Each structure stands twice: as structure tokens, then as C-alpha cells.
Amino acid sequence: MPQYFFDVRSSEWDYTDPDGFSLPDDEAAIAYAERIIRELISDDGNEYDAPDLQMLIRNEIGPVRFSIPFNPRKERAPARAIGSII
């Protein structure tokens, strides 16, 4: 199974996941990231309220595959592939 890493970035945060997690595919990695975001916000939402806070999902190859905002302005848009055209 591929190894995925879940980094957190904003103007206030800079966390790089050193260990990652083995998941079967991109869809499972996105679901895992969304679950982590929900859990973090429910545990201490105020700590995760930066408007530009996002989780970046990368795999063992290295480049960021997806970006998921912690605090979308309206309804959460689905995770999008980096470099994709919307």
C-alpha cells in the first residue's frame, strides 16, 4: 500500500508529517485527512481557525497530491488535485 503524509500549513502553522500512514489509494487518503480535520477541530476548534489553514496530502514520491482547507468559506469543496483545472 502507498504511504501518504499529511502536512498542515498556513501563515501560522508549518507541520510536516514525518511518519505518514499506509492507505490503499488517493480516495482513502482524502477520507483520512477529512476525518483528521474534523477530529482536530472538534477537540480544539479555536486552535485551528486560521482562514488559510490547510492539510496537504503527499505520497512517498514526494509532491503534494491534494489540498483540503480546514475552514472553507462556505460548504467544503471536495479535495482537489494540485495543478488541476477547476
pLDDT given for residue 57 in this prediction: 97
- The yes-or-no verdict on residue 6 having pLDDT over 70 is yes
Give kind and range of the element (H or E) at residue 86: none
Distance CA 54, CA 1 (A): 25
- The yes-or-no verdict on residue 76 having pLDDT over 70 is no
User: Could you give phi then psi for residue 40, rounded to 5 degrees?
Assistant: -65, -45
Is 0.85 topped by the overall pTM? no
pLDDT given for residue 58 in this prediction: 95
- The yes-or-no verdict on residue 86 having pLDDT over 50 is no
Domain residue limits, the chain: 3-81
Residue with cell 497530491: 65
Residues 11-58 have pLDDT tens digits of 887 999 999 999 999 999 999 999 999 998 888 767 788 889 999 999
**Whether 29 contacts 23, CB under 8 Å:** yes
